[in-house]
Amino acid sequence: MVLPVQEPSADQACPSILPAKKMAGIGIHFSSLPGPYGIGDIGDRALKFVDTLASMGLSVWQFLPTGPTAYGDSPYQPLSAFAGNEMLIGIEPLLRQGLLLKTEAEVLTRLPVQSVDYGLLIPRKQKVLARVAERFHATASSLLKTEYEDFLALNDAAWLDDYAIYRILKTMHGEKPWPEWGKPFVRREKDALEKVKNDNYQAIQHVKIIQFLFTNQWRTLKQYAGEAGVQLFGDIPIYIALDSADAWAHPEILLIDEAGKPSHVAGVPPDYFSTDGQLWGNPLYDWRFHEANGYRWWIERVRHASNHADLVRVDHFRGFESYWAVEFGAGTARVGEWLPGPGDGLFQAMHSALGSLPIVAEDLGVITPAVNRLRLQYRIPGMKVLQFETADPEFNPDDIDSNCVCYTGTHDNDTTVGWFHGSDQDNRPRQEILDTQRNVLQLTGGTAETIHRDMIRLAFDCPARLAIAPMQDFLGLGSEARLNIPGTTMNNWRWRLREEQLTPALRESVARMTGKSSRV
């Protein structure tokens, strides 16, 4: 049955995933958490941060995609849509489980603590985790081994076996993208893959063990957060990377030839973030194939994400209605064409298989009526970002729909302080910055010195069922703490919170703000 397309009122549109009681949350990725091992993690660092959220009266923790990263360290270009990023595995749980010696972890304590140095971190942590995997069967408790066998039974055929073989082949080929591998491996010839399995049996098992340890720690985190009244808010990119286990194992889901070469790639035309548009370079989906098999891959992807988080933001929601296709090899995303996406067919299939969809639509930028109709048809919350909205002198925060998540800014924005004052990376004309400053001060009734708190208060006081601010805004940090600059690939995703920044005064201040806005 096709659900009727209608545009209900704000109250009628409130989906089940955003309860009637207002909530407030914080945005920070696991890599940005404080800790002594070179990067934040999903182990003890994350459990401690759940306690921090609870002490602030915050009930939602939003983070970035958690897949294994590759070139540029971007969470939005993961090596798998289903695997976890081994760099985020916590060290302390491994020490307690007897899988790692303290002396073996010391190499990580010599890494920077104020930012993530991926060039130093990745090879060191890979060696540490390799030792863990080597001794797993000899050292792990019987309970942990049983849980590992259950993990294999549930995931091996679905995605894990392909991912493990892909990682081994990628290492064998000097970490080159799979279209540059030997032809037998690019084409997944049976005899060639069987030989790799036989010759690298132990290494393949080690990849699987490390994925199990990620999942095991994640399960602990999700249970701990639930008991503390904190919802986990995940994120999945709409597109997958060409250099990914998914593209290699299932090229039929993409518009690529037998050698792995796409005819067109994904992006968006020029917008607020970039005058050249954003050329993501991801291969495009073969939506005809997906429609023919009932969108099974997408159903499993969303099911997997929703099993790991209470809410899931879907990046670039517009691409489901229409998407920007850029010819492969183009230098920018300026020239392209809008092509029709799967639209209602995909969401009807997911709705039938999964019931109420636990997703939030990233519907920023130029959104057409057709995109809005698709979102409203399935009662999916959208997003409002105050850094964009307050540039309009006619903006009234009371007009924000309750069926949305309101942000001061996102991971792609400058911090609120940096945005308010303007920075070297800001592509806005100076007069636009000055006009926005005037608008914002009139809206908040605050000052330039208190702009970060005033913008958070503006978000918390608006009608949106969920309001979120990045950790950097709670701290009042400037552009030096910006996490990502869209359209660039260098020095992003590195910022880290320091433990001493989480002062009692900060916790009390946020708790008062949350209480006054009735979002506790």
Active site residues: 315, 362, 412
365 near 379, Cβ under 8 Å?
no
Residue 433: CB atoms within 10 A of its CB come to 17
Calpha distance 338→326 (Å, rounded): 9
- ∠ at Cα 429 (426, 433), nearest 5°? 75
β 278-283/264-268 pair status: antiparallel
Calpha distance 432→419 (Å, rounded): 12
- Taking alpha carbons only, the member of 143, 140, 199, 147 closest to residue 169 is 199
22 near 517, Cβ under 8 Å?
yes
In single-letter form, the type of residue at position 470 comes to P
Calpha distance 67→200 (Å, rounded): 23
Calpha distance 341→339 (Å, rounded): 7
Q: Give exposure, 26-60, as e/b (b: 16+ Cβ within 10 Å).
A: bbbbbbbbbbebbbbbbbbbbbebbebbbebbbbb
26 near 478, Cβ under 8 Å?
no
DSSP 415: P
- ∠ at Cα 141 (140, 146), nearest 5°? 95
In single-letter form, the type of residue at position 187 comes to R
Residue 210: CB atoms within 10 A of its CB come to 23
**Strand residues in 32-93 grouped as ranges (E):** 60-62
Residue 388: CB atoms within 10 A of its CB come to 18
SS3 88: helix
**Strand residues in 31-179 grouped as ranges (E):** 60-62
Q: % helix / strand / coil in the chain, to the nearest 5? A: 50, 10, 40
